Chain A
């Protein structure tokens, strides 16, 4: 299987002097192309930091990370930006959208940067994605005129605009109620089925149970790994996966 991301012995610390704290303490991970991986762990354990490091948004202190065979530490800011724009998609807990643009424009924005295609073609593509995520009727609205769940879907559409190899999600369902959360998860699962790699930070057992592999982060280290089971799940199996995962997590915490 092709390895999309390889992180080896990554360390990262914040602060200086006595204040200095290692947030990532020698982490090694591999994410294979097409995988659906969840990262769990207590608050402050370094999950977001890891995600930022693996996506090249943040530099690490030592260790190295390759994405699609390219060593990220050797790349300039601009080259990293190019990779993020062309090969990665991001979804966050809060809808990270530009307030000055309407929803359709927000979705088109990263794709417009490489304007090989005409605006009309990109708009058409964005509309297809909006149709798929059931928010087409909102295209002209402002960021303030949509619900949290709808905004998350806008974020997902934007992440999909450049047909990324991987989508990074940092608690994309964290701010949603359970109905909205399961809708978003269903959407992500569907995207995963089309072959896109997904790396998801989450607190939610229900969410993590729907992935293929769960990494448990503790004190800057990967404390354990768990495979909930089969890739393509049926709804009835979900309960079983959840129970298995919960048991494993309880074990991990003590």
Chain B
């Protein structure tokens, strides 16, 4: 009997049943994909970093190197398993010429290396250690992805001809977020190129035990060894490798969460409608002594069947699509060792979703308990739902036309039903607006200030060279005399030592200068202005255990000096561990210098950048927009694409749900419609009532959704982004889209769907319903 009931029920409400299943299927697919991606990503990163033997600790260093001292240090330190110094020949992008053009515009530090002997290997796409022959050039994988070059291309590097023989995976510099890229050449070719670039050293250590990393870092700093450059560690490499695919996974999970929510709403809506329809029958079943659990079982069985079908289908679909999503991971990192477990775990995730659906259905069905058999049989309608709207009466109505009044009244009377539709609209607004806001935010210049990049027009980098201070002064002088430049500032990073509470010392890079000219965004506090103030990057502050207001002791010119932490900011540049201060000290070691400038006419950025690049050939000059595009370009494009898709999906969901909702209402309301028609309401009247209901829900839903997406959405995205090191986050909202286009699109979708869904609302045959 149960089976027959279920079958009849499904046949009678084909559309909504199918839709619910569709959403469960999609949710199951997304959940499975997310799980499969997570498993593959973590596995592939591990495989890559194990094969390549990524260093546990790496100090980049530009300048003279005391190899004996380093070797002695490595030999004496008990935690060191292996040690090497790799040469990294930094070359100006203009010197690297592919058939399609040079890398002059690249913001990456492009450089050349030979294959390492001990660890930190550069791997080919099969995961093998590459041995480059003379004349061969192996190119970082990211240049394959952005179509800079392909195998067989002839490349000219500082006048020397090389052939692209293959692409390489670099376990520490794969990601666009890491600012250096290593090309691999043979020993002979490397020697030939040596004079065309500036040498930088990668001082690398492998430890016996990764847990000893903290103590090792301290020891390295305390030994006052070479440190003119960023320090990077194993966990950081791991994070950088995970970021871009991690973002995709986060997006998948977010979307699947929304889809699950919509699936739940469909279920809730169907069940509530069911309860309203079959109130009398359910009451009768209770009256003749069936238990609530018996009745619930009928419906639970229906949804179990539905959810099971959806889950299996979703899982199957995830296997169809997974290769496309895994392609990026495979390309960058290769296969995962535990790939075999992925489908299994994906299945587990889907099982969890299945369980969730059942728990939810069970929860909604609890409402059966509230049905009183006596009332159900006597009145046949759900009781006690008019609460609070007794004052909304036709007799007191002065403002609204009778159709609008009836529409509004219906919405207020059946709040629970309409809240479901409202929630769908709110969610759809979220789906439509959130990715779009994310896109405008990432693409905006302001965004860089959350990433540790000040909001200027032009950026001039002086790195890995001698006499940085003098060169910086030259450039500053030129900027000072240039009437096209409205403001500029020189920020120079020096290494200082900080005294830790346990008495040990650690080196930290501190950027000195006026930080108020092009300020970054501060997660807490403000920029340093007084000489005894210091601002720390969030990652750095966490590591040092400092907050705003705490003090910090730096060794300045050999003297201990106390600083107050005045602000915290997010930073994704230079390994994320930086500091900013306003004092000056000519004796410290310069690491690099960044000069930022603002133009009177910002449209002339390219022209000015070219001018300064020619005038100061040793410096790397970029327009900030270009800098951002090259650093976040692929992310921005991906998000823009996702945003467009999301808007379309939001509109489709809105139309689908509205049509279903209206169809269902018409079926449920046929009695009321018949009554009104008998008493002389026309088909147009009836349609007007439905449109009023829709408009009423639409107004609330879309305004609420828009508002929430623009506010709560900010918090949500902020939380997700802080995970990657950016702490404070504000949406840059495109008001035209977020407050006008998107609401209009959704309003249009609802109105069209309501119009279409209620076309035949008045066509009900009255006499068939009012039969005596």
Which residues from chain A sit less than 8 Å from chain B, CB to CB?
A: 48-49, 52, 57-58, 77-78, 81-86, 88, 90, 92-94, 96-102, 104-105, 108-110, 112-113, 115, 118-120, 122-123, 126, 140, 142-144, 158, 170-171, 174, 201
Contacts and interface: CB of A to CB of B under 8 A. Distances in A.
Interface in B376-390: 379, 381, 383, 386, 390
Contact of B386 (A49, A52, A100): A100
A110 B676 CA distance: 8
A112 B675 CA distance: 15
Interface residues of B, number: 38
B682 A142 contact: no
Given A100-B410, A112-B405, 12 more contacts: A77-B683, A77-B762, A82-B680, A93-B772, A100-B414, A101-B394, A105-B393, A105-B394, A110-B680, A113-B681, A118-B398, A119-B395
Given A102-B390, A119-B398, A170-B772, A97 B675 contact: yes
Given A98-B672, A144-B379, A144-B381, A84 B679 contact: yes
A81 B393 contact: no
A113 B685 contact: yes
A230 to B, nearest CB: 29
Given A109-B676, A115-B402, A81 B395 contact: no
A7 to B, nearest CB: 16
A81 B771 CA distance: 19
A84 B675 CA distance: 12
A211 B409 CA distance: 41
Contact of B394 (A86, A109, A158): A109
B546 interface: no
A48 B771 contact: yes
A88 B677 CA distance: 12
A100 B395 contact: no
5 contacts: A81-B677, A98-B672, A105-B395, A110-B680, A115-B402
A48 B771 CA distance: 8
Contacts of A126: 395
Interface in B5-49: none
A113 B402 contact: yes
Interface string B391-408: 001111110011001000
Given A81-B681, A99-B381, A108 B390 contact: no
Contacts of B677: 57, 81
A81 B762 CA distance: 11
Nearest to A112: B402
B667 interface: no
Given A105-B393, A174-B772, A57 B685 contact: no
B740 to A, nearest CB: 35
Given A90-B679, A104-B395, A144-B383, A57 B402 contact: no
Given A77-B762, A142-B386, A96 B682 contact: no
A158 B767 CA distance: 19
B673 to A, nearest CB: 10
B679 A85 contact: yes
B680 A112 contact: no
B630 to A, nearest CB: 61
A94 B402 contact: no
Given A77-B762, A142-B386, A174-B772, A110 B395 contact: no
B772 A84 contact: no
Interface string B291-313: 00000000000000000000000
Interface string B743-772: 000000000000000000010001100111
A122 B381 contact: no
B218 interface: no
B148 interface: no
B684 interface: yes
A57 B65 CA distance: 101
A223 to B, nearest CB: 20
Greatest chain A CB density within 10 A among B379, B684, B767 is at B767
Contacts of B678: 57, 84, 90, 96
B680 A85 contact: yes
Nearest to B382: A99
Given A77-B683, A99-B381, A140-B390, A122 B413 contact: no
A248 to B, nearest CB: 24
Instruction: Provide the main secondary structure of the chain A interface.
Output: helix
A119 B386 contact: no
B100 to A, nearest CB: 70
Nearest to A159: B679
A90 B766 CA distance: 13
B461 to A, nearest CB: 70
Interface string B402-446: 100100011001100000000000000000000000000000000
Nearest to A102: B393
A60 to B, nearest CB: 12
Nearest to A82: B680
A112 B771 CA distance: 26
Given A52-B767, A81-B681, A109 B410 contact: no
A92 B770 contact: yes
Contacts of B682: 77-78, 81-82
Contacts of B409: 100-101
A142 B413 CA distance: 12
B680 A100 contact: no
Interface string B352-388: 0000000000000000000000010001010100100
Contacts of B390: 102, 140
A59 B280 CA distance: 32
Contacts of B381: 99, 143-144
Contacts of A142: 386
B114 to A, nearest CB: 82
A110 B677 CA distance: 10
A119 B396 CA distance: 7
- Name which of B386, B676, B680, B767 has the most chain A CB atoms within 10 A of its CB: B680
Nearest first, the 3 closest Cβ-Cβ pairs linking A and B are A85-B680, A123-B395, A105-B394
A140 B379 CA distance: 18
A171 B772 contact: yes
Nearest to B402: A112
- Name which of A83, A104, A119, A120 has the most chain B CB atoms within 10 A of its CB: A119
A201 B771 CA distance: 13
B696 to A, nearest CB: 14
B393 A104 contact: yes
A97 B386 CA distance: 16
Contacts of A101: 393-394, 409
Contact of B772 (A92, A122, A144): A92
Contacts of B772: 48, 92-94, 170-171, 174, 201
Contacts of A140: 390
Nearest to A79: B682
Interface string B653-694: 000000000000000000010111111111111000000000
Contact of A112 (B394, B672, B684): B394
Nearest to B683: A77
B683 to A, nearest CB: 6
Contacts of B393: 101-102, 104-105
Contacts of A49: 767
Nearest to B405: A112
Nearest to B378: A144
A48 B770 CA distance: 10
Contacts of A83: 680
Contacts of A90: 678-679
